[in-house]
Amino acid sequence: MTRALLLVDVQNDFTEGGALGVVGGAEVARRISGLLASEGDAYDVIVASRDWHDADSHNGGHFATDEPPNFTSTWPVHCVAGTTGAEYHPDLALGSVDVHVFKGQGKPSYSAFEGSTDDGLPLREVLASNEVTNIDIAGIATDYCVRASALDAIAAGLKVRILTGFVAGVAPGTSNAALNELSDAGAELS
């Protein structure tokens, strides 16, 4: 059994004060850093994903440009490549991260499995090359990118555990629904 940790989108724009700030996002960054300090060695590979959207486009309709965002499929401009908003939250300790995955890049992306490394290697291949069978998932937002990443991990045949003390969601109702959906799909909630 090879075990991975996936840190989903712990970025400035998804924490308090960001373009799509989630309440509790900064605390998630701090908690994950504590987890990495105390248990990081338990993981064979640690991956961090980031939204990394193009500055000069609406990113396949992901950014609301002509009408107000509906906060379901269209969003305010966020996590534009190279901006402060796209950077990892400063309280997230990155020293243990082995692989960085970028998603978006001109199109809507929620799952880290839609992203790739700087070398163009998709996350699925990163995990396969490391013979990952089990994956723990933490990050932001429970009801969107954490949910989508976990569902794709399950679909890829991985044993998935959501670290519920290390996630933050947009809203309590949709976050609880996402966790219930993930549990029903076979993820362990821990």
**Known catalytic residues?**
9, 103, 145
- Give residue 38's Cα distance to chain centre: 21
- How far apart CA 138 and CA 90 sit, in angstroms, is 17
User: What is the number of other CB atoms lying within 10 angstroms of the CB of residue 95?
Assistant: 9
The dihedral formed by the CA atoms of 168, 184, 128 and 97, expressed in degrees to the nearest 10:
20
d(CA 39, CA 56): 40
Measured CA angle at 83 (ends 79, 89), to 5 deg? 70
Distance CA 137, CA 9 (A): 11
Q: What are phi and psi of 158, to 5 degrees?
A: -85, 150
Adjacent-strand bridge partners of 50: 102
